[in-house]
């Protein structure tokens, strides 16, 4: 860089060289001084230019060196990063690859192996016992009293829990418009009666006039035309009197109707019973709308307790419609039921009898009823009627059992367990609870056929805890795998190991039930035909550990078979899917 600056030629140097090289030139002192001044200025200017060029060159060299150093650092760090990635790849992927390879080899080895599974031969129980089904008590007669007239509740004479007699006054309504309508109808009747009397008097005059004209016409005093005119007037008056009489009858009927409507201001009891609901209070507006054929809609905080109408009973024998408060509701809208009256000296229970036992149910046969308040002490009931027709959805027959409750110890809406002792039915097919799994949104059971696993879709019925009833999909003699693990899948080869029958293991071997409350109390009901021979062992097995396959009561067929009711192995299988 310094060599280039030394060799650079500036315009001022060239001009001075030309002046000094001219031999013929002669200068005066002034010219010489001026030339010397110009030469010094040119030298100074050249010095500044050289200094500026040197600074620019130094700045350029510095930037070039700095840029060269940055690229070097970048390349260095890139190399370090690549080396770290290669190190991570070598240290991480290779062991993982080896582990995956070993796992794959182990999986292939497991696939080639034939695991041993425990199977039971599916059989029906040989014994037939009593049928136990749940139900809810309901009054033998229940009526919901509605207002027939529009008005305001003037006075209330009864409340919930009061005993009433037939015809007893329960409430009085204030309907001034009805009272005025009665008075108006009464005055209209009087007006019609006065009109009738006026027409009757006119008829008497017309009759006398006609009799006189008839005599005079016969004597020739008047013409026959005049006589016919008087006779026509008489007959027309007869018609007017008849019309006035009909008007009187019409207004009298209207008065009777108004009086009948006025009588609806008095709300009376339709029969002897007890008040179970009171949905209004003094001063409330009531209307003549609503229907007395069905129970009013009950919501939380809008009912006075008691039981719902039997018309609302479900096919499983339960009645009632939801949560009810312990205080009477007084904010019912116009047109709703004012009171509910029920006869509880006799109660009835509507239960659903399964298809296998429907033919054994006869009117008049005894039944034993268990309630929580009387643990271990049955109440004798009687089958009064049955529909003799099966519900196509549940395959059950609705049956009514009546109880004598003249002592008033039972109440409508109580949960009960009804046992029919004199019934004989077909024992169901049952499998252990752990044998039922849900795969691909289907309830299946693993069956061993020809040393291979087949996942058979089934339809489950009642849940007995350690065992589950199978309605369809399996047959007697099938070998069912008791515990289904992840290795049990469609088409897998297995080595079955025989175990005791499902009925014997699950306590459902066909023993007859004893005449007592089911072991779990009235909140649960066991096998419909073959429970309780080995009830003690069944309950113990159902309480062992979380993996014992015990399930909540109610049966998958009745409670929906939710995921929380499945055995532990079944839950794990469902979670993995």
Q: Using H for helix, E for strand and C for coil, what is the string for 455-498?
A: EEECEEEEECCCEEEEEECCCCCCEEECCCCCCCCCCCECEEEE
Q: Strands of 187-306 (E only): list them.
A: 266-268, 273-278, 285-286
Cβ atoms 192, 167 nearer than 8 A: no
Domain ranges, ordered by start, for the chain: 2-82, 116-124+428-576, 176-264, 274-420
Strand order across the beta sheet in which 459-463 lies: 429-432, 467-472, 459-463
**CATH fold match for the domains 116-124+428-576 and 274-420:** no
The CATH number of 274-420 is which of 2.40.30.170, 2.40.10.120, 3.40.50.280, 3.40.50.1820? 2.40.30.170
Say what the pLDDT of residue 389 is: 93
Whether the CB-CB separation of 486 and 492 falls below 8 Å is answered with: no
Report which of 237, 235, 229 is spatially closest to residue 213, judged by C-alpha positions: 229
Residue by residue, DSSP assigns 551-564 as --TT-HHHH---GG
- pLDDT tens digits in sequence order for the chain, 577 residues long: 445 555 655 565 666 666 666 656 566 777 777 877 888 888 888 788 888 888 888 888 787 777 666 777 778 888 888 888 888 877 777 777 788 888 888 877 766 667 788 888 888 765 555 788 999 999 999 999 988 888 888 999 999 999 999 999 999 988 888 888 888 898 999 998 999 899 889 888 888 888 888 888 888 777 888 878 888 888 898 899 899 899 999 999 999 988 888 888 889 999 999 999 999 889 988 887 643 334 444 443 333 333 333 334 343 444 333 334 344 444 444 457 899 999 999 999 999 998 888 888 889 999 999 998 777 688 999 999 999 999 999 899 999 999 999 988 899 999 999 998 777 666 778 888 888 888 888 899 999 988 888 899 998 887 777 888 888 888 888 889 888 887 788 888 888 888 765 444 444 433 333 334 444 333 334 333 333 333 333 344 443 433 333 333 333 333 333 333 443 434 444 444 3
- Three-state DSSP at 247 gives helix
527, 465 contact by CB (below 8 A): no
> What is the tally of helices (H) and strands (E) in the chain?
9, 21
Retrieve residue 70's tokens.
């940055």
Give the pLDDT confidence score for residue 116 in this predicted structure. 80
Return the half-sphere exposure (C-beta side, CA atoms, 13 A cut-off) of residue 146: 16
- Closest Cα to residue 431, out of 466, 477, 473? 466
What token pair was written down for 574?
Answer: 């469902």
CA–CA dist 475, 481 (Å, integer) = 14
Residue 400: name the closest of 417, 381, 416 by CA.
Answer: 381
- Residue 266 in contact with residue 172, Cβ under 8 Å? yes
Whether the CB-CB separation of 387 and 398 falls below 8 Å is answered with yes
Q: Provide the 3-class DSSP secondary structure of residue 404.
A: strand
Neighbours of 293 (CB within 10 A): 8
The pTM for the full model equals: 0.47
What is the Cα gyration radius of the chain? 54
Interaxial angle between packed helices 224-263 and 176-219, expressed in degrees from 0 to 180 and rounded to the nearest 10: 160
Q: DSSP 3-state assignment of 64? A: helix
Give Cα separations from 413 to 315, 524, 560 (angstroms): 16, 17, 23
Say if residues 349 and 317 touch (Cβ distance below 8 Å): yes
What is the CATH number that goes with domain 116-124+428-576? Answer: 2.40.420.20
Distances (CA, A) of 463 to 117, 299, 438, 550: 24, 31, 15, 9
């Amino acid at each position: 860089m310094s060599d280039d600056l030394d060799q650079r030629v500036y315009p001022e140097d060239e001009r001075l060289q030309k002046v000094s090289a001219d031999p013929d030139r002669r200068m005066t002192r002034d010219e010489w001084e001026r030339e010397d001044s110009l030469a010094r200025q040119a030298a100074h200017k050249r010095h500044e230019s050289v200094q500026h060029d040197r600074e620019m060159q130094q700045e350029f060299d510095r930037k070039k060196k700095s840029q060269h150093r940055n690229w070097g650092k970048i390349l260095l760090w890139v190399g370090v990063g690549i080396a770290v990635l290669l190190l991570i790849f070598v240290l991480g992927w290779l062991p993982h690859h080896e582990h995956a390879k070993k796992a794959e080899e182990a999986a292939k080895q497991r696939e080639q192996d034939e695991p041993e599974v425990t199977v039971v031969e599916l059989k029906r129980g040989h014994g037939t016992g009593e049928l136990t089904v749940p139900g809810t008590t309901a009054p033998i007669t229940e009526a919901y009293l509605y207002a027939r007239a529009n008005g305001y509740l003037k006075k209330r004479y009864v409340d919930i829990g009061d005993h009433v007699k037939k015809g007893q006054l329960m409430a009085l309504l204030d309907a001034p418009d009805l009272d005025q309508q009665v008075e108006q109808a009464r005055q209209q009747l009087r007006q019609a009666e006065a009109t009738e009397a006026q027409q009757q008097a006119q008829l008497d005059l017309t009759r006398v006039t006609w009799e006189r004209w008839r005599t005079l016409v016969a004597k020739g005093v008047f013409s026959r035309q005049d006589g016919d005119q008087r006779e026509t007037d008489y007959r027309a008056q007869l018609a007017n009197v008849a019309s006035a009489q009909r008007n009187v009858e019409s207004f009298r009927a209207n008065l009777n109707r108004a009086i009948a409507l006025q009588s609806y201001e008095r709300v009376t009891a339709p029969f002897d019973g007890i008040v179970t609901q009171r949905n209004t209070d003094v001063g409330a507006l009531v209307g003549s709308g609503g229907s007395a054929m069905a129970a009013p809609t009950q919501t939380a905080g809008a009912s006075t307790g008691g039981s719902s109408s039997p018309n609302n009973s479900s096919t499983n024998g339960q009645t009632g419609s939801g949560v009810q408060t312990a205080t009477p509701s007084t904010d019912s809208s116009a047109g709703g039921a004012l009171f509910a009256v029920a006869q509880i000296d006799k109660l009835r229970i509507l239960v659903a009898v399964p298809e296998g036992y429907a033919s054994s149910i006869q009117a008049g046969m005894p039944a034993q009823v268990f309630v929580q308040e009387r643990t271990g002490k049955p109440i004798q009931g009687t089958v009064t009627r049955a529909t003799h027709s099966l519900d196509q959805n549940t395959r059950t027959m609705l049956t009514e059992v009546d109880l004598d409750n003249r002592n008033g110890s039972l109440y409508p809406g109580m949960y009960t367990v009804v046992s029919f002792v004199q019934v004989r039915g077909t024992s169901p097919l049952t499998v252990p609870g752990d044998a039922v799994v849900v795969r691909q949104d289907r309830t299946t059971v693993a069956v061993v056929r020809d040393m291979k696993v087949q996942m058979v879709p089934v339809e489950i019925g009642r849940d007995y805890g350690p065992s589950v009833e199978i309605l369809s999909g399996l047959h007697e003699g099938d070998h069912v795998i008791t515990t289904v693990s992840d290795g049990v899948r469609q088409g897998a080869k297995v080595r079955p190991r025989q175990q005791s029958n499902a009925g014997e293991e699950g306590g459902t071997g066909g023993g007859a039930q004893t005449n007592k409350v089911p072991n779990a109390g009235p909140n649960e009901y066991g096998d419909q035909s073959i429970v309780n021979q080995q009830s003690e062992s069944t309950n113990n097995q159902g309480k062992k550990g979380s993996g014992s396959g015990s399930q909540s009561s109610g049966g998958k067929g009745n409670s929906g078979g939710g995921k929380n009711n499945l055995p532990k192995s079944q839950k794990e299988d469902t979670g993995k899917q």
